[in-house]
Structure 1
């Protein structure tokens, strides 16, 4: 009989220990779930977020103009495209159509073509030049750094707020009519 009692106490102790460990694991899983559900956690932001200030930059457009942070008009759309990017080729016609319908025209649209090869960039430049001020640069160029670009295509809207140029939309809906946004 003492052997049965000892075995029963051992099994009971193991069950209580198992229950305590299970409760601890469940508590940690809930903490991790809460952390992972917070905005921006676990995903790479493709660029600056809404409200973040655009960094300083100075660059030239393909038609010989100069662009700087101060030269961007209020409510300017800035798009980043790469000739080697499938999604960029899909978004390009929508970006061109959207940009062509914007009030203010080319003065309110900047298109950045990210390429190391001028021949690759020329096709995109030809499509974008009628509707945007176009800049060709590498992924480490001044605009890419100023906007902290990490993914393509990226289309942002910027505006002056309190003397600073900030991102006002980090995912411009190119399916929406441009005149409704203005």
Structure 2
């Protein structure tokens, strides 16, 4: 009988300890959920490192791989701007869809700017794919003129920009989906 009482006390103690630990875990999960909900953006989505919609694009002056001068003032309405890095697996995966999307744009190559950020030798494959559909700039790091002007901190970054009524170039879209067909404005 003493053995049975000891076993019941042991199981009861074990269950009480399990309950206390479970309540602690639940409390911790609630704290984490609150922290995560504070970090999420509109619609419960996490904010990215991408520039925000409405954010002003900084001044820049650079040259494309074709030697063409490219400045802040040369960005037309509804320009697609992309930042890729050669060592980035998601960049390699998204590149073919981006090229197809850019090829279908009504304004053609003049409406697309692509920056390849990384070692110029490693960037050659990206440049070869992007050159027919975009004005391509190769930059060695995030502090280079184009990357700094757009504050591009993650790759791939896909944006739409347009000058506003005052001529200030602003980000108009920062979460682009490349699977939707492109249609010309009517």
Q: Given the two structures, how large is their TM-score scaled by the length of structure 1?
A: 0.76
Q: What is the Cα-based RMSD across aligned positions, in Å?
A: 2.7
Which 10-residue stretch deviates more, 120-129 or 169-178?
169-178
Find the aligned partners of 1:55 and 1:157 in 2 and give their Cα distance. 15
In the alignment, structure 1 residue 121 sits paired with structure 2 residue 115:
no
What corresponds to 1:178 in structure 2?
A: 182
- Structure 2 distance, partners of 1:82, 1:34, is 28
Q: Write the distance in 1 (CA, Å) between the matches of 2:146 and 2:121.
A: 21
Shift of 1:44: 5.9
> Residues 86 and 117 of structure 2 are in contact (CA less than 8 Å); yes or no, is this contact kept in structure 1?
yes
d(CA) in 1 for partners of 2:159, 2:36: 29
- Give SS of 1:96's match: helix
2:135 corresponds to 1:133: yes
Alignment of 1:145 with 2:145, yes or no, is no
Question: What residue is the counterpart of 2:94 in the other structure?
Answer: 91
- Count residues in correspondence: 156
How far residue 143 of structure 1 moved from its aligned partner, in angstroms, is: 1.0
User: In structure 2, what is the Cα distance between the partners aligned to 1:70 and 1:125?
Assistant: 23
Partner of 2:172: 168
Query: Aligned to 1:127, what secondary structure does the other structure show?
Result: helix
Q: Deviations over 1:29-54 (max 9, x none)?
A: 5xx4596165289x663221001100
SS of 1:158's partner is strand
1:1-182 equivalences under 5 Å are: 32=34, 36=38, 39=41, 45-116=48-119, 118-138=120-140, 139-163=142-166, 164-179=168-183
**Which residue number corresponds to residue 16 of structure 1?**
none
Alpha-carbon distance between aligned partners in 2 of 1:37 and 1:115, rounded to the nearest angstrom: 30
Q: What are the Cα deviations for residues 103-156 of structure 1, in whole angstroms up to 9, with x where unaligned?
A: 01000000000012x221111000000000000002211111111111100100
